[in-house]
């Protein structure tokens, strides 16, 4: 690492690449590479350092192309974006009373260099929206249609996902991109920030949002993505998937079997009668107690009666369980409660040193919570933006004069 404003590690400032005549120095590349190592927390091996150096070079080349294209349309964009970029650095990297710029400096990274990266992201977004205004003209209509579709399919299975989409680059062919994806997956499993990595590396339109896709209907996804999600535990990152020349990583963040109307979200109130058993109770004792408990509860028709019975048993366990999310119970108990009718006692259930009968007092389905229109608008925008951004950047690369040492 090296301090802010310092010369490169080897002490000599060199031009490593030129983009349409504009120089990129080894200092800029080392700064970006140090930043990428910090954000990704990828294992510090020689092979990974070499690849990160290549990635840093390509990112700086692309940013130069993006800035030139945007500035040609509106030369004031860069100046107007500086304050927002400075704020984003502080928001994303500030911690424990230190500003983002201070924390980056403490790690040997020039904050001004990272601000320039955020400036590029901002002006590129404005440029793509201006350049392809007609492509975004139906955004409101698409958002309304998506909202109606979600309402009509409120009970369809849903998953909450974030993504990192890696696009092979001139300095990183597909085989190396697959290796990078595996290194990212290992880093995330060690505690690296998935969303921060997505902001730096993902080629998808969701990159600016940390890769967050939010809640999606499972059947919306391509079959191979559905399979990938089903194989990935909640809270885990998937194995890399190669699809249509891209490499995709998915983080599974949650599932709702019945969509926004998932019964696990219901709020329930239960009463229980607990019949205590001694630690040395035999199977015969347990069978006898279960028969007694069933006799005692067969004619009961209210939660008050279950509570009174629990008091007679003197179990010392609170009878009433009020206003609890159904999904907070373990799966066997969820299944039992889900099948109960209000004011009808369950069959006796065995627990450690006791038997219990449950009665459903009240069950309320929460209001169906649909995604906000703003969230849907952002998601539709990301879909369009990601595709247009990728295609136009490839066009700029082909038209540019790029020299590298």
**Bridge partners (DSSP) listed for residue 169:** 172
Report the C-alpha gap between 21 and 267 in whole angstroms: 65
pLDDT digits (tens, 9 = 90+) for 104-133: 999 899 999 999 999 999 999 999 999 999
Average model confidence (pLDDT) for the chain? 89
Same fold, 153-263+387-405 and 267-364: yes
Give tens-digit pLDDT for 42-68.
999 999 999 999 999 999 999 999 999
pTM: 0.69
Confidence of residue 8 (pLDDT cuts 50, 70, 90): low
Q: pLDDT at residue 2 above 60?
A: no
203 has pLDDT over 60: yes
| Domain range 267-364, CATH architecture | Roll (3.10)
Measured between alpha carbons, how far is 4 from 35 in angstroms, rounded to an integer?
12
pLDDT at residue 262, rounded to an integer: 62
Q: In CATH, what is the architecture of 1-131?
A: Orthogonal Bundle (1.10)
Sheet holding 267-276, edge to edge: 320-325, 267-276, 354-364, 349-351
* CATH number, domain 153-263+387-405: 3.10.50.40
Handedness of CA 335, 336, 340, 343 (dihedral sign): negative
pLDDT at residue number 275: 94
Task: Encode pLDDT of 314-344 as tens digits.
Answer: 988 999 999 998 877 887 888 889 889 999 9
DSSP character at residue 221: S
Domains of the chain, by residue range, sit at 1-131, 153-263+387-405, 267-364
**Residue 284 backbone dihedrals phi, psi, to 5 degrees:** -65, -40
78-82, 87-91, 228-232, 264-268: least confidently modelled range: 264-268
The 10s digit of each residue's pLDDT in 11-34 is 688 999 999 999 999 999 999 999
């Amino acid at each position: 690492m090296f301090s802010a404003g310092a010369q490169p590690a080897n002490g000599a400032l060199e031009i490593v690449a030129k983009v349409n005549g504009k120089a990129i120095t080894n200092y800029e590349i080392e700064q970006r590479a140090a930043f990428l190592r910090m954000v990704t927390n990828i294992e510090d091996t020689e092979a990974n350092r070499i690849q990160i150096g290549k990635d840093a070079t390509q990112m700086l080349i692309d940013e130069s192309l993006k800035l030139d294209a945007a500035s040609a349309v509106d030369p004031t964009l860069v100046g107007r974006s500086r304050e927002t970029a400075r704020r984003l650095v502080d928001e994303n990297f500030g911690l424990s009373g230190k500003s983002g710029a201070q924390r980056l400096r403490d790690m040997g990274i020039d904050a001004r260099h990272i601000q320039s990266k955020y400036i590029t992201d901002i002006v590129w977004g404005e440029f793509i929206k201006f350049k392809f205004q007609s492509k975004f003209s139906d955004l409101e209509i698409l958002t309304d249609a998506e909202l109606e579709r979600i309402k009509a399919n409120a009970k369809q299975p849903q998953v909450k996902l974030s993504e990192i989409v890696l696009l092979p680059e001139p300095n990183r062919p597909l085989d190396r991109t697959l290796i990078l994806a595996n290194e990212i997956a290992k880093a995330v499993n060690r505690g690296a920030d998935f969303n921060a990595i997505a902001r730096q590396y993902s080629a998808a339109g969701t990159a600016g949002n940390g890769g967050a896709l939010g809640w999606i209907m499972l059947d919306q996804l391509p079959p191979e993505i559905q399979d990938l999600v089903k194989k990935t535990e909640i809270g885990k990152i998937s194995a890399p998937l190669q699809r249509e020349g891209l490499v995709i990583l998915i983080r599974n963040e949650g599932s709702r079997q019945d969509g926004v109307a998932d019964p696990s979200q219901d709020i329930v109130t239960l009463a229980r009668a607990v019949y205590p058993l001694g630690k040395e109770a035999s199977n015969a004792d347990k069978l006898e107690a279960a028969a007694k408990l069933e006799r005692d509860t067969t004619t009961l028709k209210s939660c008050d009666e279950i509570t009174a019975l629990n008091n007679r048993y003197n179990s010392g366990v609170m009878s009433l369980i009020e206003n609890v999310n159904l999904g907070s119970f373990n799966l066997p108990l969820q299944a039992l409660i889900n099948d109960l009718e209000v004011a009808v006692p369950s069959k006796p259930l065995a627990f450690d040193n006791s038997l219990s009968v449950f009665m459903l007092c009240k069950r309320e389905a929460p209001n169906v919570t649909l995604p906000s229109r703003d969230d849907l608008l952002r998601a539709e925008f990301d879909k369009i933006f990601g595709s247009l951004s990728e295609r136009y950047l490839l066009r700029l690369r082909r038209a540019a004069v790029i020299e590298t040492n």
